[in-house]
């Protein structure tokens, strides 16, 4: 992804996240603010409703004084109480059981049972009877007053008193509807039953006789606490305030409720959030556009630097100046880039000169190596021939000690010949003249047995036991001359650094042959095996060789498309089946003595299908 796109999408994601977080936080804050305002309003409404009832109680107290003084005519033109009684001889049992005393003025709320009303000579009719609580109970505001004529008792029945609650509602919230519901509602409960209310039911009728929710009933009526939060009222959610109504004995006999429709405040919140979103979306678009422009302004100089870098990578040092405009950091980077380009150009020129010198030196080295190795090879060939003739002519005439010296000379000349041949092959490899001419080769007949014949003196002198674990016919598709170099290095190394025995084995694996040369002796440490095939690598503490043989072997095997590796042989993996030199393959082991040593493997393509 381009840098400008990465910057843009990073900023885009950050802005979107911030916007969503801000919108959600704003919505929560708006919702909390609206809800807090609504709760405050219903809390204040509850206090005002209580104040309205207190005013009614004050009016009842005045009426009680008038009745007790025998001045009932003064009540004309005023709201008369539903019950107005005078008791010259004290309060009856129906009132005194509530703790009312004849000589003491009282006012408050009281709940009459049906038998109490009969004792007082009052019976509910009309809406009062329809709104009566369970068992015909009536909830009343009352006042008593002791006077000259006796103790008076006056009361206003709250059951079915729709005018009272509508007056309170009108004073608090007005008479407006929100949808099909009044925005604000007021209710008086007798115990948990609505006996006077402005709440409308599902069919638009006043919800007289319906009950408060169980949660509100338990908290307000049973625990005597105030409820100040949302509540489900009949069929709608309201932000509500409930407080208990108590009689003179302190018993919770009813509930006073004030509430407002939650739907209105939810709609206010939603409109506020919508308005906020309407402001945020275009602002977000402008911010994203600005972010894209800024990102392009940052990336454009960097893109120019990348273009110049690509030209430098292709070796083009044309005078293309890096960008010089942009932020200060970009200009500093451009200056540093320009200095780096000049330094790279200067170094490139030096490297080109050094490369020319190295190529010249390498050419001279290859020519010198080729010349020296050819001359040495010719000389060592003549020396080898003369030493061999000397050994044959004096085979019977020399003493034993002189014969051993002559044999040592022959072996030393052969080692020197092998070293010169390795250098000669290295020269041919590096000059590219070590050509690969593949053909079908019988490895044992065309490569190994002629090689063993050339080395028979060395093998006989070292007293090596030659073992074979070889099928009747092992043919590979290879260059016989190059395989001679491979197996010559394996076998000569075995004669130099091994002892007692040398084993040659072959095993078929699919379309390839795995050929192996093993020797007895101390195994090569496992950690040193990776160093065997490196150029000029010598692991044995000897002055023999130049460390080129196995390096040449690896290059030749790779040229054949094969693999070469080495393993140290644990004693537990021996013995192997073996037969004398030149004998057919045998499955009978020669020795049961556990042995150890080193084995080199070569994997080559088979010449015939398996």
Highest mean pLDDT among 62-76, 158-172, 271-285: 158-172
Helix-, strand-, coil-residue percentages of the chain, each rounded to 5: 50, 20, 25
Span 360-394, pLDDT tens digits: 776 666 666 665 665 666 666 677 667 767 766 67
Query: How is residue 336 annotated by DSSP?
Result: H
Beta-carbon count within 10 A of 258 CB: 29
Identify whether 322 is part of a domain: no
Average pLDDT over residues 544-568: 84
User: pLDDT band at 444, cuts 50/70/90?
Assistant: very high
Residues 495 and 421 in one domain: no
pLDDT of residue 456: 85
pLDDT of residue 240: 93
Distances (CA, A) of 154 to 82, 254, 256, 605: 8, 20, 21, 124
Statement: residue 104 has pLDDT above 90: no
pLDDT of residue 572: 34
Identify whether 412 is part of a domain: yes
Range of the domain at 406: 352-434
pLDDT of residue 416: 67
Residues 42 and 84 in one domain: yes
The predicted model scores a pTM of 0.49
pLDDT of residue 16: 79
User: pLDDT band at 326, cuts 50/70/90?
Assistant: low
User: pLDDT band at 592, cuts 50/70/90?
Assistant: very low
Span 258-303, pLDDT tens digits: 999 988 888 888 887 788 778 777 887 787 777 777 777 776 776 7
> Closest by alpha carbon to 540, among 552, 555, 528?
528
Q: Write down which residue in 286, 301, 317 finishes a domain.
A: 286
Statement: residue 564 has pLDDT above 70: yes
pLDDT of residue 454: 85
Percent of all residues in the chain with a pLDDT value above 90, rounded to a whole number:
29
Highest mean pLDDT among 32-46, 431-445, 587-601: 32-46
Q: Write down which residue in 238, 256, 286 finishes a domain.
A: 286
CATH number (domain holding residue 398): 1.10.287.130
Q: What is the mean pLDDT of the chain?
A: 80
Q: Which of 47-51, 135-139, 568-572 has the lowest mean pLDDT?
A: 568-572
Span 503-537, pLDDT tens digits: 999 999 999 999 999 999 888 888 888 888 887 77
User: pLDDT band at 18, cuts 50/70/90?
Assistant: confident
Residues 512 and 451 in one domain: yes
Q: What are phi and psi of 41, to 5 degrees?
A: -65, -45
Average pLDDT over residues 578-585: 37
Identify whether 305 is part of a domain: no
User: pLDDT band at 584, cuts 50/70/90?
Assistant: very low
Residues 456 and 414 in one domain: no
332 Cβ contact list (under 8 Å, min separation 6)? none
Distances (CA, A) of 19 to 29, 120, 504: 15, 70, 79
Counting the structural domains of the chain, the total is 3
Statement: residue 77 has pLDDT above 60: no
User: pLDDT band at 585, cuts 50/70/90?
Assistant: very low
> Closest by alpha carbon to 577, among 464, 469, 500?
469
Identify whether 337 is part of a domain: no
Statement: residue 306 has pLDDT above 60: yes
Q: Write down which residue in 250, 271, 286 finishes a domain.
A: 286
Identify whether 87 is part of a domain: yes
For the chain, the straight-line distance linking the first and the last C-alpha, in angstroms and rounded, comes to: 52
Q: In what order do the strands lie in the sheet with 236-246?
A: 193-197, 184-190, 252-261, 236-246, 227-233
Residues 389 and 522 in one domain: no
pLDDT of residue 463: 87
């Amino acid at each position: 992804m381009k840098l400008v796109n990465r910057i843009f999408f990073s900023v885009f994601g950050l802005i979107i996240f911030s916007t969503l977080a801000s919108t959600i936080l704003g919505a929560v804050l708006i919702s909390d603010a609206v809800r807090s305002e609504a709760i405050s309003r219903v809390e204040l409404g509850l206090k005002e409703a209580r104040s309205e009832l207190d005013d009614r109680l004050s009016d009842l107290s005045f009426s009680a004084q008038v009745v007790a003084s025998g001045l009932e005519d003064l009540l004309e033109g005023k709201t008369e109480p539903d019950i107005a009684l005078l008791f010259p001889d004290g309060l009856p049992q129906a009132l005194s059981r509530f703790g009312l005393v004849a000589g003491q003025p009282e006012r408050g709320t009281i709940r009459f049972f049906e038998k109490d009303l009969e004792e007082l000579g009052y019976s509910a009719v009309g809406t009062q009877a329809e709104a009566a609580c369970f068992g015909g109970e009536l909830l009343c505001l009352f006042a008593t007053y002791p006077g000259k004529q006796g103790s008076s008792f006056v009361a206003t029945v709250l059951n079915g008193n729709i005018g009272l609650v509508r007056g309170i509602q009108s004073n608090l919230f007005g008479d407006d509807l929100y949808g099909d519901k009044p925005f604000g509602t007021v209710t008086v409960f007798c115990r948990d039953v609505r006996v006077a209310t402005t709440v409308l039911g599902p069919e638009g009728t006043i919800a007289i006789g319906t009950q408060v929710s169980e949660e509100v009933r338990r908290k307000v009526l049973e625990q005597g606490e105030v409820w100040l939060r949302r509540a489900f009222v009949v069929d709608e959610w309201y932000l509500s305030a409930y407080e208990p109504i108590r009689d003179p004995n302190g018993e919770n006999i009813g509930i006073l409720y004030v509430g407002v429709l939650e739907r209105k405040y939810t709609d206010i919140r939603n409109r506020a959030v919508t308005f906020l979103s309407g402001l945020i979306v275009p602002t977000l678009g402008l911010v994203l556009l600005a972010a894209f422009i800024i990102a392009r302004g940052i990336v454009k100089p960097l893109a120019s630097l990348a273009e110049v870098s690509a030209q430098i990578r292709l070796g083009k040092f044309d005078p293309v100046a890096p960008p010089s405009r942009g932020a200060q950091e970009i200009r500093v980077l451009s200056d540093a880039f320009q200095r780096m380009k000049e330094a790279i150009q200067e170094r490139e020129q030096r490297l080109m000169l050094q490369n020319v010198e190295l190529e010249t030196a390498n050419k001279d080295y290859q020519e010198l190596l080729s010349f020296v190795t050819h001359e040495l090879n010719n000389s060592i060939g003549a020396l080898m021939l003369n030493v061999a003739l000397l050994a044959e002519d004096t085979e019977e005439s020399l003493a034993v000690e002189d014969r051993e010296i002559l044999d040592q000379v022959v072996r030393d000349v052969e080692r020197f010949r092998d070293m010169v041949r390795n250098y000669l092959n290295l020269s041919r490899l590096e000059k590219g003249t070590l050509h690969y001419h593949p053909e079908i080769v019988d490895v044992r007949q065309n490569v190994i047995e002629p090689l063993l014949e050339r080395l028979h003196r060395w093998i006989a002198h070292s007293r090596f036991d030659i073992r074979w674990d070889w099928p009747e016919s092992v043919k590979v598709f290879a260059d016989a001359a190059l395989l001679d170099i491979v197996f010559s290095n394996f076998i000569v190394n075995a004669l130099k650094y091994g002892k007692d025995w040398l084993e040659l084995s072959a095993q078929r694996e699919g379309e390839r042959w795995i050929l192996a040369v093993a020797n007895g002796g101390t195994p090569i440490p496992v950690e040193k095996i990776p160093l065997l095939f490196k150029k000029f690598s010598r692991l044995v503490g000897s002055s023999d060789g130049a460390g080129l043989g196995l390096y040449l072997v690896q290059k030749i095997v790779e040229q054949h498309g094969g693999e070469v590796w080495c393993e140290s042989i644990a004693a537990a993996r021996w013995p192997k089946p073996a037969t004398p030199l030149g004998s057919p393959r045998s499955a009978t082991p020669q020795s049961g003595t556990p042995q150890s040593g080193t084995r080199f493997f070569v994997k080559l393509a088979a010449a015939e299908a398996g």
